[in-house]
């Protein structure tokens, strides 16, 4: 797998993605909700065989793992975590073994197939009760790693670290070129879900660095109190410290471009909301897009509400499609699910 040097700093990237992703009009959906000029950024197709927003982060993180001489990675998430699955897929492609420390969650239509795909990949899944227990399990796995603890690379929750967030600084450059090519010069509002915050923080750092007239609307999708506007701004500022001297935006420039929206999260992680379910149906019926009710549906619900309230007047809205829409692999039904930890077999039905 090819490695290249990033255009924004000295760190390397692994070429994992199918990039740049398209910026496409969604005219029927926009007309239906009152969002003239609605565009969609198709990160659902960001990689093969698996798209979504995690691919951009993994290009930096797996390159870092390789540069450190690691032979395996460990990451974290809920049972149906898109991030954990994306990490397992691309770690395998890059020649790493993969451990995933996963926590319980409410059932969704996608958890079973996510776990079956892990079984096809041979992901080494262990369970944990929560964040603290997950970190303790990672420490145990490192201590027991056959080639030494230093060769088991820790990929953070959601891939969201300053290094991983550089993938979305790159994405801001993509967006700038695509908006210019389409003749968009006025204010732009970009909507995307905010869970572990790396995508929002990286995009924020990138649009502020490029001095784009873009507001990044981060739509909260998790219940944790640690996910808020201040935390996004801290991660964006930490990401900026990895940029070349003299190119990083100031804290005020970051803050001026962030709009943090907590009101669409609902009752908890992966628990659908009526607004999110409506948004998923609208995207399916009017734009042919596959969304989920955990992340992308809640982000689109925010955009829909803003369109209907008139909040988008004078701005070009962009919906950033962060959820994978690539098909499941053949043979999923034949996956050896006996390798799953017992607590997760309940998701298989």
What would the pLDDT profile of 195-251 be if each residue is shown by its tens digit?
999 999 999 999 999 999 999 999 999 998 999 999 999 999 999 999 998 899 999
In the chain, residues under CATH classification 3.40.50.1100 are 18-53+161-320, 54-159
pLDDT recorded at residue 2: 57
Question: Within a 13 Å sphere around the CA of 325, how many CA atoms are in the beta-carbon half?
Answer: 16
Decide which of 3.40.50.1100, 3.30.70.20, 3.60.15.10, 3.30.750.24 is the CATH code for 18-53+161-320: 3.40.50.1100
pLDDT recorded at residue 51: 98
Decide which of 3.40.50.1100, 3.40.50.300, 3.40.366.10, 3.40.190.10 is the CATH code for 54-159: 3.40.50.1100
**Average pLDDT rounded to a whole number, residues 282-306:** 98
Burial (Cβ within 10 Å: 0-12, 13-18, ≥19) of residue 301? buried
Cβ 140 vs Cβ 128: under 8 Å:
no
CA angle 199, 201, 203 (to 5 degrees): 65
Roughly what angle, to the nearest 10 degrees, separates helices 229-240 and 162-181? 90
pLDDT recorded at residue 8: 55
Closest CA to 64 of 20, 9, 102, 19: 9
pLDDT above 60 for 13: yes
**Average pLDDT rounded to a whole number, residues 300-317:** 98
**Average pLDDT rounded to a whole number, residues 308-335:** 96
Q: Within a 10 A sphere around the Cβ of 307, how many other Cβ atoms?
A: 20
5: confidence class by pLDDT, cuts 50, 70, 90:
very low
**Average pLDDT rounded to a whole number, residues 33-42:** 97
**Average pLDDT rounded to a whole number, residues 65-71:** 98
Each residue of 143-194: pLDDT tens digit?
Answer: 999 999 999 999 999 999 999 999 999 999 999 999 999 999 989 999 999 9
Average pLDDT for the chain: 96
pLDDT recorded at residue 339: 87
Q: What is the pTM (predicted TM-score) of this model?
A: 0.96
pLDDT above 90 for 7: no
Burial (Cβ within 10 Å: 0-12, 13-18, ≥19) of residue 313? exposed
pLDDT recorded at residue 245: 86
């Amino acid at each position: 797998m090819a490695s290249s040097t990033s255009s924004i700093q000295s760190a390397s990237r692994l070429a994992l993605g199918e990039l740049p992703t398209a910026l496409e009009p969604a005219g029927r959906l926009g007309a239906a909700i009152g969002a003239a000029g609605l565009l969609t950024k198709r990160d659902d197709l960001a990689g093969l065989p698996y798209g979504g927003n995690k691919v951009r982060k993994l290009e930096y993180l797996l390159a870092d793992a390789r540069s450190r001489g690691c032979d395996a990675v460990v990451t974290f998430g809920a049972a149906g975590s898109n991030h954990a699955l994306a990490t397992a897929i691309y770690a395998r492609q890059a020649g790493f073994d993969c451990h995933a420390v996963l926590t319980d969650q409410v059932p969704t239509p996608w958890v079973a197939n996510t776990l079956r795909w892990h079984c096809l990949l041979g992901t080494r899944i262990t369970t944990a009760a929560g964040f603290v227990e997950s970190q303790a399990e990672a420490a145990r796995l490192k201590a027991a790693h056959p080639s030494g603890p230093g060769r088991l690379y820790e990929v953070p929750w959601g891939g969201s670290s300053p290094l991983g967030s550089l993938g979305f600084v790159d994405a801001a450059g993509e967006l700038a070129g695509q908006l210019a090519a389409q003749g968009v010069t006025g204010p732009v509002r970009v909507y995307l879900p905010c869970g572990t915050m790396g995508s929002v923080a990286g995009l924020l750092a990138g649009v502020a660095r490029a001095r784009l007239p873009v507001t990044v609307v981060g739509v909260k999708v998790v219940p944790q109190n640690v996910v808020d506007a201040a935390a996004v701004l801290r991660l964006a500022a930490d990401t900026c410290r990895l940029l070349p001297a003299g190119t990083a935006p100031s804290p005020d420039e970051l803050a001026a471009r962030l709009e943090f929206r907590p009101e669409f999260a609902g009752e908890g992680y992966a628990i659908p909301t009526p607004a999110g379910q409506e948004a998923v149906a609208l995207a399916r019926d009017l734009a042919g897009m596959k969304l989920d009710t955990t992340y992308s549906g809640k982000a689109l619900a925010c955009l829909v509400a803003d369109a209907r309230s008139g909040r988008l007047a004078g701005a070009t809205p962009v919906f950033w499609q962060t959820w994978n829409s690539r098909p499941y692999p053949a043979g999923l039904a034949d996956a050896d699910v006996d390798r799953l930890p017992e607590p997760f077999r309940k998701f298989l039905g």
